[in-house]
Amino acid sequence: MMGFGFWALEEKATGAFLGELGFAEFKRDMQPSFGGAPEAGWVLTTAAHGKGYATEALRAATAWSDESLQSPRTVCMVHPDNAPSIRVAEKCGYREERRSEYRGNPVIVFARSMRT
């Protein structure tokens, strides 16, 4: 309906579920808002951590978004203590835009411009 969503991630050899990743419009109650930019998100099972799956999947998703989405940018939000997710975001072209709070917790808002 919105032209984007989340994909299930699975291990190629075994078909084991690894997590999910994609884009959403969560309509978070934050100021300033994300301005309608699709929000990238990812969550992987503990067994999948540290193996490069998140980076590989997010790179594929951002390549898809560059070709398929009308939005000039996407955003993501990461807790400042989540160093692995911050590295994934940065490796995939996201840059810190601002520090904020969401539901009483500190967050870093990252943005990525569409590549053409």
Would you give per-residue pLDDT tens digits along the chain (116 residues)? 677 999 999 999 999 999 999 999 998 988 888 988 999 999 999 999 999 999 999 999 999 999 999 889 999 999 999 999 999 999 999 999 999 999 999 999 999 998 75
For the chain, which residues make up each domain, given as ranges?
Answer: 6-113
Mapping DSSP onto H, E and C, the string for the chain reads CCCCCEEEEECCCCCCEEEEEEEECCCCCCCCCCCCCCEEEEEECHHHCCCCHHHHHHHHHHHHHHHHCCCCEEEEEECCCCHHHHHHHHHCCCEEEEEEEECCEEEEEEEEECCC
Handedness of CA 62, 67, 73, 74 (dihedral sign): negative
Residue 67, pLDDT score: 92
Instruction: Write down the architecture of domain 6-113 according to CATH.
Output: 3-Layer(aba) Sandwich (3.40)
Residue 1, pLDDT score: 64
